[in-house]
Amino acid sequence: MPVTRPGRLEGKVALITGAAAGIGRASAEAFLAEGARLVLTDLNVEPLEPFARESALALQQDVADEAGWRQTVDAALARFGRLNALVNNAGIALPGNIETATLADWRRAQAINVEGVFLGCREAVRAMKASGGGSIVNLSSAAGIIGDAQSAAYCASKGAVRLLTKSVALHCARAGYKIRCNSVHPAFTLTPLLEGVIAGARNPERVREGLSKAPPLGRFGEAREVAAAVLYLASDESAFTTCAELVIDGGLTAQ
């Protein structure tokens, strides 16, 4: 008889923010296929309805809202009894260099991309301590490693996520919580977020061509490819991996 292999996330409860589209949705699909029970959040919950079944809870969430984070994690604990993995995926990209970026855009980027991750990590640590450990995966970016002249606020926010991840990981390891924390750094992945940036350019087709050729592999990344890295970090396969930066960029940052 064939041997039935349990899913890589069988029995685990995972919370994914920004799950309505792009990398968040691809991660939700990958996690579900590997046996996880899911808590999926987004400002737009309608696309999450197909997931709202026995193994998934769909919630509206503004990740920049502190009280909302406590409510979201408490809802996960009430539904499933524990939290084993958190994917801090929700984020925005606002173009603007140091001369053109507004203070309002700067603050909005930091509130969502940095404060949202901070609040998520804090709430996840609270819940995971009670569950005996877990894995936190923070979506940073290649722009959190190398600079981009036209993305001042975005680069700053993703750089902050990169080092916040290491601080969380070190704290949890030294406290003996058995909670791992790692960051994922994609580059030019075809998602609605990137499509919006391209559409807002003066010459969208020229920008699309330039971005697609920037990585040495010569193409855009796909959301499912990034989701595979997120899945690995959430699973027990990465049990000895913490403080790491997993770069999924087609070789962009090696240049």
- How many angstroms separate the Cα of 236 from the Cα of each of 52, 82, 101, 223, 240? 25, 16, 41, 22, 9
Q: Does residue 58 belong to any structural domain of this protein?
A: yes
Q: Does residue 41 belong to any structural domain of this protein?
A: yes
Q: Does residue 28 belong to any structural domain of this protein?
A: yes
pLDDT (tens digit, 9 = 90+) per residue, 135-187? Answer: 999 999 999 999 999 999 999 999 999 999 999 999 999 999 999 999 999 99
Report the number of secondary-structure helices (H) and strands (E) in the chain.
8, 9
Has 154 been annotated as catalytic?
A: yes
Domain count, the chain: 1
Q: Does residue 223 belong to any structural domain of this protein?
A: yes
Q: Does residue 7 belong to any structural domain of this protein?
A: no
Q: Are 16 and 87 in contact (CB under 8 A)?
A: yes
Q: Does residue 1 belong to any structural domain of this protein?
A: no
pTM, full prediction: 0.94
Residue 129, domain extent: 13-248
List of the chain residues with pLDDT < 50: 1-3
CATH at 82: 3.40.50.720
Q: Which residue of the set 31, 118, 154, 232 is catalytic? A: 154
Q: What is the residue-averaged pLDDT of the chain?
A: 95
**pLDDT for 5:** 61
- How many angstroms separate the Cα of 180 from the Cα of each of 15, 129, 248? 15, 11, 19
**pLDDT for 54:** 64
Q: Does residue 4 belong to any structural domain of this protein?
A: no
